[in-house]
Structure formats: C-alpha cells, structure tokens
Amino acid sequence: MHDVTIIGGGPAGLFSAFYSGLRNMKTKIIESHPFLGGKVHVYPEKIVWDVGGLPAVTGQQLIDHLVKQGTTFDPDIVLGEKVTSIEKIDGTFKLTTHNGQVHWSQSVIVAVGGGIIEPKKLDVKGAEKFEVSNLHYTVPSFQRFAGKRVVISGGSHSAIDWANELAPIAERVHLVYRREELKGHEASIDLLIEQGVELNEQSAIEALTANEAGTEISQVTLTHPEHGVRMLDVDEVIISHGFNRDASLLDQSPIPLERVDDFFIKGSAQSASSVSGLFAAGDILHHEGKLHLIAGAFQDAANAVNLAKQYIDPEASARAMVSSHNERMDEYNKKWKEEQLVSS
Ligand SMILES: Cc1cc2nc3c(=O)[nH]c(=O)nc-3n(C[C@H](O)[C@H](O)[C@H](O)COP(=O)(O)OP(=O)(O)OC[C@H]3O[C@@H](n4cnc5c(N)ncnc54)[C@H](O)[C@@H]3O)c2cc1C
C-alpha cells in the first residue's frame, strides 16, 4: 500500500514524486510509456526558456533534470503500464492497468496531461523495422542529420520548423506533404524557399526501399496525382504526421469525478478534485487561474502533495518546510556535497 500513487510521469508527476518524497510519503509513479518525461518528449530539440531557475535548456535536458529531481527519494516507478481504471473501495484507491495489474493506494494524484500520446506512424508496409535505424518520429538532435539527404514527411508547423533547422546543415532537405499549399507562418515558408528546401506538394511516401543489408532505408518512393511516381535517394527519413491521443482513463473510471469540457478534472486552486483523496496536477487540472505550462504544473504538484499528506495524516502540517529547513534533507545534502566533490 502506497501513501500516494501518481498516474503519469511527465513534469507534473515527476515534481509530485519529488515533493512527496520531501514529505516522507511512500510514493509510486505509474507511467504508460517505457520512459519518463511526458509530453516534453515531443520536443526534445526545442529550446525551453520559461522554466523558473533553469536558463535555456533543450527539451531533452529538461527531461534529464526532471527525472533526476523526481527520483531523488527513490519512488517506486512502474513503466509501460497504462492505468485503465480508478476505483475507490472502502476508502482505498484501486488502480487497474491494461495488463490486469492492480495497485492499491491511500491517495492518488492524477497527472496524465492530455492523455497518452503516440506519433502517428507511417502507413507503409514494413516501415517499423527501420525505426531502430533511419526512420524517425522525432528529432532528438539536429547534428545527426549534418551532411545527410533528409526527407521530411508532413505539412505541420513541426515539419516546417524541422526542415528550416536542418536545411543549413543537411546536404539536402525534401519536404513531402499532401496538400497543395503549406499551412504555416509566412516567414517560415519564405525561409524554406530561401534555404533551398525542395518542396514536394500533393505528394506522399508510398514505399520504402532498403539498402543491401536490409537495415536502413536507402530510397523512398513518392507519388503525385499528376506527375506519378518518383524515387529519392535518402540517408534519413523523418515523419511528422501528428499524434494519436488516448485519454480514456477518466471516462472509464467508476468514480464521481467532476469534469470541465468533458475532459479536464474540475479542481480547486489547491489541486483537490470532487473525489476526496484524489488530487490532480498539470495539464489535466482545470481551475480559474490555472497556468497550462510546466511552471504551473509545479505549483499544482506541491499543492496536490500537501493535500494528499493531510488526507492520509490529518495531523500533518498543511505545507512542507522549505527544503533547506527540512530535517529529511540533511542526509541528501551530505550525499549531494560528496557528489560535487567527486565531480570537481
Ligand atoms: C510542442 C510543445 C511545446 C511546448 N513548449 C513548452 C514550453 O516551452 N514551456 C512550457 O512551460 N510548456 C511547454 N509545453 C507544454 C508542456 O509540455 C506541458 O504543459 C507539460 O508537459 C504538462 O505536463 P504534465 O505532466 O501535466 O503532462 P504530460 O507532459 O502530458 O505528461 C503526462 C504523462 O502521463 C502519462 N499518462 C497519460 N495517461 C496515462 C495512463 N492512463 N496511465 C499511465 N500513464 C498515463 C503520459 O504517457 C505522459 O507521460 C509545450 C507543449 C508542446 C506540445
């Protein structure tokens, strides 16, 4: 039995895990993906400027910081399990996951963001085998594409931004999209043209040809309604076709949870929901004044943990002491100083 179980391992879930450790609570995180970090995985290469205390960092660096901080107090972490139902039975929460596992908890923090998001896959036979080599659904680092012939499939803002970022360093960038015209900021489209990105309108990837070893894509087949079929030699293929979203958890759960717009959890500014013992943090929470940014998720997380602490121990203080005044931190301060000495 855990004091608190956090559903979702994004920024809100990870900061909740840190904070509940600070409050000495036995904590578990359940995350459906096999990795922590949440939606930030959508933009690992983007520079993030607006997280307090962190000067500009890439999305990936932010994930690394969030995970390091979130695991400070060694919460139990369950990866690759999607919570499919939340029930409250005799005052205890029962969480069931997609593979039939059951997790019991005294309190719950729902930090599921906009749900589980997965990139829409390229609908071409056998494409999945190249995901370990040169077929990408995100761009973790631009440097990988330096000097390469790159095909980007998609007409979204992300596809246009990636093409513009890669054009100066790649040998050649081809943008392939179904519509007649690109829909994006005018300045970004002008920049594509200025940088010599090859625009393939009304086109789609129909087939992939492997190299001799069968390990990498060496050619893509493009189709166009008037010009027919065209083959392109490539080194890297990037797909930006948007995301599928699974936000079924709250609809399927037999708890009387008040919602807003049939989606968000209607909560108080302190992260309480209409179900006692169940709290919410991050993008899934709605209240007047809610900030749908990472900075807002941190405040929700601290509030949710403080209420969860009082819910399971009514004698507990309503707030944590600041970390420097918290007795529990003494051993961690000592460990941190030792690590600093070793690294210097
Ligand atoms: C392209 C883009 C750029 C952005 N840039 C910025 C920025 O510069 N600054 C900023 O502050 N914000 C930015 N944001 C918004 C920011 O990413 C979100 O506000 C933040 O990620 C919300 O954190 P969260 O923990 O609430 O949700 P998420 O990050 O969405 O994490 C939720 C986690 O819960 C998991 N989950 C969902 N359902 C279940 C389930 N049933 N069982 C188990 N696990 C589940 C998901 O897999 C996910 O890992 C950006 C968003 C996007 C899309």
Measured at the CA of 316, the angle between CA 313 and CA 317, to 5 degrees, comes to: 150
Closest CA to ligand 1's atom 7: 48
Contacts (Cβ under 8 Å, ≥6 apart) of 42: 59, 117, 138, 243
pLDDT at 258 over 80: yes
Give the range of the structural domain holding residue 128, as residue numbers without chain letter.
121-241
Residues 189 and 290 in one domain: no
Residues 186 and 277 in one domain: no
| Cα distances (angstroms) measured from residue 188 to each of 73, 164, 266 | 44, 7, 38
Residues 305 and 277 in one domain: yes
pLDDT at 322 over 80: no
The residue among 226, 241, 256 that closes a domain is 241
pLDDT at residue 211 in the model: 95
> Measured in angstroms, how far is the CA atom of residue 340 from the centroid of ligand 1?
31
What residue type is 17 in one-letter code?
A: A
Between 150-159, 166-175, 222-231, 315-324, the lowest mean confidence (pLDDT) is in 315-324
pLDDT at 8 over 90: yes
pLDDT at residue 262 in the model: 87
DSSP state of 314: T
Site to substitute for ligand 1 among 39, 58, 98, most atoms within 8 A of C-beta: 39
Residues 249 and 202 in one domain: no
DSSP letter string, 92-149: EEEEEETTS-EEEEEEEEE--TT-EEEEPPP-STTGGGGGGTTEESS-S-GGGGTT-E
In the predicted model, what is the mean pLDDT of the chain?
Answer: 94
Site to substitute for ligand 1 among 265, 294, 303, 305, most atoms within 8 A of C-beta: 294
Closest CA to ligand 1's atom 41: 83
> Measured in angstroms, how far is the CA atom of residue 294 from the centroid of ligand 1?
8
309-320 pLDDT, tens digit per residue, is: 999 999 998 777
Percent of the chain as helix, strand, coil, to the nearest 5: 30, 30, 40
Is 39 labeled as ligand-binding? Answer: yes
pLDDT at 328 over 80: no
Measured at the CA of 89, the angle between CA 85 and CA 94, to 5 degrees, comes to: 35
Is 88 labeled as ligand-binding? Answer: no
pLDDT at residue 331 in the model: 83
CB atoms within 10 A of CB 135: 21
273-309 pLDDT, tens digit per residue, is: 999 999 999 999 999 999 999 999 999 999 999 999 9
Is 324 labeled as ligand-binding? Answer: yes
Is 253 labeled as ligand-binding? Answer: no
Selection from 169, 165, 163 nearest residue 182 by Cα: 163
Banded pLDDT at 324 (limits 50, 70, 90): confident
96-128 pLDDT, tens digit per residue, is: 999 999 999 999 999 999 999 999 999 999 999
The residue among 178, 206, 241 that closes a domain is 241
Is 64 labeled as ligand-binding? Answer: no
Residues 272 and 333 in one domain: yes
Q: In sequence order, what are the beta bridge partners of 232?
A: 220
Residues 41 and 181 in one domain: no
DSSP state of 243: E
pLDDT at 141 over 90: no
> Measured in angstroms, how far is the CA atom of residue 316 from the centroid of ligand 1?
30
The residue among 241, 258, 273 that closes a domain is 241
pLDDT at residue 323 in the model: 76
For residues 167-197, one letter each, b for 16 or more C-beta atoms within 10 angstroms of the residue's C-beta and e for the rest, the string is beebebbbbbbeeeebebeeeebebbeeeeb
Question: Distance between CA 235 and CA 233 in Å, rounded?
Answer: 7
Reduced to 3 states (helix: H, G, I; strand: E, B; else coil), residue 284 is helix
Is 283 labeled as ligand-binding? Answer: yes
Question: Distance between CA 74 and CA 40 in Å, rounded?
Answer: 22
DSSP state of 103: E
Share of the chain above pLDDT 70, in %: 100
CB atoms within 10 A of CB 212: 7
pLDDT at residue 302 in the model: 96
Residues 231 and 258 in one domain: no
Task: Specify the CATH number for the domain of residue 161.
Answer: 3.50.50.60
> Measured in angstroms, how far is the CA atom of residue 56 from the centroid of ligand 1?
18
Site to substitute for ligand 1 among 81, 95, 96, 112, most atoms within 8 A of C-beta: 112
56-97 pLDDT, tens digit per residue, is: 999 999 999 999 999 999 999 999 999 999 999 999 999 999
DSSP letter string, 51-74: STT--SEEHHHHHHHHHHHHTTT-
Place of tokens 């409050």: 23
Residues 109 and 252 in one domain: yes
pLDDT at residue 91 in the model: 94
pLDDT at residue 333 in the model: 86
Banded pLDDT at 219 (limits 50, 70, 90): very high
Q: Look at the chain and report how many structural domains it folds into.
A: 2
Q: Which atom of ligand 1 is nearest to the CA of 282?
A: 26
What stretch of H or E contains 176? strand 172-176
Is 43 labeled as ligand-binding? Answer: yes
CB atoms within 10 A of CB 111: 32
Closest CA to ligand 1's atom 19: 293
Residues 195 and 182 in one domain: yes
> Measured in angstroms, how far is the CA atom of residue 322 from the centroid of ligand 1?
26
pLDDT at residue 140 in the model: 78
pLDDT at 191 over 90: yes
Reduced to 3 states (helix: H, G, I; strand: E, B; else coil), residue 9 is coil
Residues 145 and 218 in one domain: yes
Residues 103 and 168 in one domain: no
Strands 259-260 and 83-89: unpaired
Residues 170 and 32 in one domain: no
Question: Distance between CA 38 and CA 41 in Å, rounded?
Answer: 6
pLDDT at residue 327 in the model: 73
Closest CA to ligand 1's atom 30: 113
pLDDT at residue 45 in the model: 85
Question: Distance between CA 188 and CA 108 in Å, rounded?
Answer: 44
